[in-house]
Amino acid sequence: MVRKAFVLGYGAAAYLAFVVALLYTIGFLAGVGVPKGIDDGATGPAWRALVVDAALLTLFAAQHSVMARPWFKRWWTRFVPPAVERSTYVLASTAAVVLLLWQWQPLPTMLWSVGPAWARGVLWALYVLGWVVLVVSTFAVGHFDLFGLRQVLDRALDRRYTEPGFREPLLYRLVRHPLMVGFLIAFWAAPDLSVGRLLFAVAGTGYIMVGVRLEEHDLRAQLGEPYEDYLRRVPRFVPRPVR
C-alpha cells in the first residue's frame, strides 16, 4: 500500500513540476510575469553566452530525444518500474528545462521590434494561440497518458495499463504534429526579437524538425500500415487546402 501511494505521489509531483515549468517558460519567452525573462540578467561576452546557451539547448535536446526512444525505454525499465517510466521521463525533461531557464545567458541585442500597436497585438495573440494549440493537442492525444498520470493511477488501483490505440482526433486530422506546430508558433510569434530569442527559436525549430522524424520512424515500426497510411494522407505541419 505504501509503495502504491509513493508511486502515485511521485507521478503527481512530476506532473506538477512540469506544469510549473511550462507556465514559467511561457512567461520566460514573453518576458512577462516571471523574475527572469529571456533577455533579462547580467550580460557578459557574447561568445560566452552563445556557448552556454547552445550547451543548455543541446543538453535538453539530447535528454528529450534519447529517453523517448523505445530502445532506451526497454533498457530503462530494467531498473525503473514501468508504472513510473513516463513520470521519470517527464521529471527529467522538466529538470532540463529548469536548468536551461535558470542558467540562460541573455543576448538582448534587438533584431526587430514591431512598432504598430495592432501588429504587436496580432503577434501576442499568435503567441498565446501557439500555447493553446499545444495544450489542446496533448488532451486530444491523451494528456494523462502523455505525462504519466494514468500509468501511476492504474498501478495504484491494481489495473493493467494499456497504451492508447492509434487515433486521429481533432487537430491530428489536419496535421501529424499539432503539438509541435503550437511550439513553432510560440517560438516565432515575437513582437520583439532579440539575438537570444532568435537562438532559442532556431534551436527549438531545428530540434523539432529532427525529433518528429525520429518519432515517425518509431511509430512506423510500432504501428505498421495504419500509420503508413496516415503519413500518406496527413501533412506534417501545414494543413492542405480544403478542396
Look up residue 170 and give its DSSP letter. G
What pLDDT, on a 0 to 100 scale, did the predictor assign at position 217?
A: 94
CA distances 13 to 25, 81, 88, Å, are: 18, 17, 10
Is 90 exceeded by the pLDDT of residue 135?
yes
The share of the chain scoring above pLDDT 90, in percent, equals 83
Q: pTM (2 decimals)? A: 0.94
Q: What share of the chain is helix, strand, coil (3-state, %, to 5)?
A: 70, 5, 25
What pLDDT, on a 0 to 100 scale, did the predictor assign at position 243?
A: 60
Instruction: Tell me the per-residue pLDDT of 143-166, one tens digit each, with 9 for 90 and over.
Output: 999 999 999 999 888 888 888 888
Angle, helices 117-141/178-188, rounded to nearest 10 degrees: 160
Query: Does residue 133 contact residue 177 with C-beta atoms inside 8 Å?
Result: no
Residue carrying C-alpha cell 531557464:
101
Instruction: Tell me the per-residue pLDDT of 1-36, one tens digit each, with 9 for 90 and over.
Output: 668 888 999 999 999 999 999 999 999 999 999 999
Q: b/e per residue, 28-67, with b = 16+ CB within 10 A?
A: bbbbeebeebbbebeeeeeeebeeebeebbeebbebbeeb
What pLDDT, on a 0 to 100 scale, did the predictor assign at position 231?
A: 95
